[in-house]
Amino acid sequence: MKKIFLICFLFVFVCSWSQQKTWTESEKKQCMTERLKKMTSDKESTSSGLMILEQYKKSKEEVVTCYCSKLEIKYKTYKVAREFINKKDRKSDRESFEMGFSCFNDKSEVGKWSTEMKNICFKILQGPSSGLSQKQANCFCETIEKKYVNFFEFGEAAKYNEINDQELIMEFQNCQK
């Protein structure tokens, strides 16, 4: 009797596990539509975003498809995923960014950035609003590379006012000479 009960229990468990909910086609389409719209709604972000896509030779659709797939794996419904995306706290921002950025397959690490990451850093720091010379932008990027996994990690630290490393600040000051 115990064996029959155990077999029934395992059968029910396996059947319910194998029928893990996936998003409906409508949810998948909604994710794609909303994420593509978000990518193109902000002019400044759109400009940077297109430059990043160019560096990695990826299309918006390719990256959004990947991002939505990762959200689907993690969240039971798109509604729950959207709540996560719309949270405006450090943990959610970072997790959402990492999930999306993993779609680029960048292998940068502290002290050894990919060519694409170096180009992104340079192009952003050489933007019209930066006021930096080519030499200063290169110096800043080399300094940031020594301390951060990628340029975006540095950007996050700056956004949350976490750059308090005196050595880094001194190196930045040296770049301005």
Give the domain ranges of the chain. Answer: 23-104, 115-175
Instruction: Give the mean pLDDT of the chain.
Output: 83
What gap in Å lies between CA 131 and CA 151, rounded to an integer?
18
DSSP of 83-106, one letter per residue? HHHH--SHHHHHHHHHHHHGGGT-
Q: Which residue did the predictor score with more confidence, 131 or 37?
A: 37
Instruction: Name the pLDDT band for 3 (thresholds 50, 70, 90).
Output: very low
> Tens of pLDDT along 101-150?
999 999 999 999 999 999 999 999 888 777 888 999 999 999 999 999 99
Tokens of 22: 């996936």
Looking at residue 119, its pLDDT comes to 95
Looking at residue 104, its pLDDT comes to 95
> Tens of pLDDT along 39-71?
877 665 667 888 999 999 999 999 999 999 999
